[in-house]
Structures are given as C-alpha cells and as structure tokens.
Amino acid sequence: MSVQPRTCMSRWKETAGHGCGEDSDASIVVLGLGNVLLGDDGLGVHVVDRLTPRFDASSDVRLVDGGTLGFSLLEIVEAARVLIVVDAMALDLPPGSVRLFVDGELDRFLAAPAQRSVHDVNLGDLLRMSALRGMLPEHRVLVGVQPRSIDWRETPGESVSAGIDVACEKIRELITGWTS
C-alpha cells in the first residue's frame, strides 16, 4: 500500500519523477544522500544526478537529492513503497566498492552498534522513526559505496567515481525488476 506524502518541503531537490504535492505518488523512490562539498561523501547525490536522464515525470520512479537533510526526509521515506537509498558507507572494503543491503539484511546492517554513516541523522534513524509511525516502506534497499576520503572537494575520487557507475547500474537493475 502506497502512503501519500502530506506536504512537500521546498528544500528537496526533485531531479526527476513526480514533483511535490498531490501528484507525488511514485512508488519507487531513489534517495541520494551526502554532502557534495565533501568529495566522496556526496556520491549519493551524484548517483541521483547520473540517473536523472533515465527517468521522466511519467515514470513510477522519483529521484530525490536528499543531501544531508536528516529527519526532513521522513515524508519522502514514508511515501515510498520501494525505497532505494544511496550513500557513502563504511563497508570495510576497497574504495569504490558497492554493496547492496535489502530489507531484513538492511535492518540488521543498520542495527549494528558502529556508526556506518558520516551524517548526524543517519538512514537507520530515519527508518526507525518511520517504523515507529507504522509507515516503513514495504521494500528497502541501501546501495552503499565505500568512500576513500571525506574532505573539502566537489567531486568524488577516481575509484569512487567508478563505484558510482556500478551503483547506477545496480539501481537500474533493481528498478527494472520492480517495474516489469
């Protein structure tokens, strides 16, 4: 069952798919997280930007640049039937490595005591808040990419850029599986 968002915050950068308001009923949400001023940390936003040409307003896919908005993203999370989040994550793998965590595996990964994200409010916090409100998306996927460095620069490093390409392909495959 798809839950409709109640309001739309102008801070969200909608890059494709449905806009804000009553028509915001895309059942698949791709949410890119990160700070584009911190090099590899901004990779989630870069993934959303690279996916944008693949989807238009008539698709059932909503691409959202979530930046580092934290709890402000709760409505977006709760409105999704399928939530695909892309973020830089400490995976203990070589830089640029991509790993998918789906549904229960994602829940277990985020429940680990170690902080896996560099953001003050992380994905685990958002999903726990959504679950407490009884509005957890039916399917949840984290596409985690191992960063090399989080420092002041506007572009990801070479190995992470290659990981961004892999992440985009994996997301396209996931979306195709859910829409065909």
Domain count, the chain: 1
Nearest to 139 by CA among 57, 84, 94: 84
Radius of gyration of the chain (CA): 15
pLDDT, position 18:
36
Boundaries of domain holding 82: 13-179
Q: Is residue 105 part of a domain?
A: yes
With 0-12 / 13-18 / 19 or more C-beta atoms within 10 angstroms meaning exposed / middle / buried, residue 84 is buried
Q: Is residue 66 part of a domain?
A: yes
Q: Is residue 152 part of a domain?
A: yes
Computed over every residue of the chain, the mean pLDDT equals: 81
Buried b (16+ CB within 10 A) or exposed e, 15-47: bbbbeeeeebebbbbbbbbbbbebbbbbbbbbb
Q: Is residue 30 part of a domain?
A: yes
Q: Picking from 53-67, 94-108, 158-172, which range would have the lowest pLDDT averaged per residue?
A: 53-67
Q: Is residue 50 part of a domain?
A: yes
Task: Give the span between the Cα atoms of 107 and 103, in whole angstroms.
Answer: 6
pLDDT, position 147:
93
Q: Is residue 2 part of a domain?
A: no
Buried b (16+ CB within 10 A) or exposed e, 96-131: bbbbbbeeeebbebbeeeeebbbbebbbbbbbebbe
Decide if pLDDT at 130 tops 90: yes
Report which listed range, 32-46, 101-115, 120-134, is most confident.
32-46
Q: Is residue 96 part of a domain?
A: yes
Condensed to tens digits (0 to 9), the pLDDT of residues 25-78 reads: 569 999 999 999 988 989 999 999 999 988 876 678 999 999 887 888 999 999
What is the pTM (predicted TM-score) of this model? Answer: 0.82
The pair of three-digit structure tokens given for residue 54, joined into one six-digit string: 């693949």
Q: Picking from 21-25, 62-66, 87-91, 165-169, which range would have the lowest pLDDT averaged per residue?
A: 21-25
pLDDT, position 9:
32
Decide if pLDDT at 10 tops 60: no
pLDDT, position 90:
87
pLDDT, position 25:
59
Q: Is residue 6 part of a domain?
A: no
CB 36 within 8 A of CB 46: yes
CATH value at residue 153:
3.40.50.1450
Decide if pLDDT at 16 tops 70: no
**What is the SS3 string spanning 96-136?**
CCEEEEECHHHHHHHHCCCCCCCCCCCHHHHHHHHHHCCCC
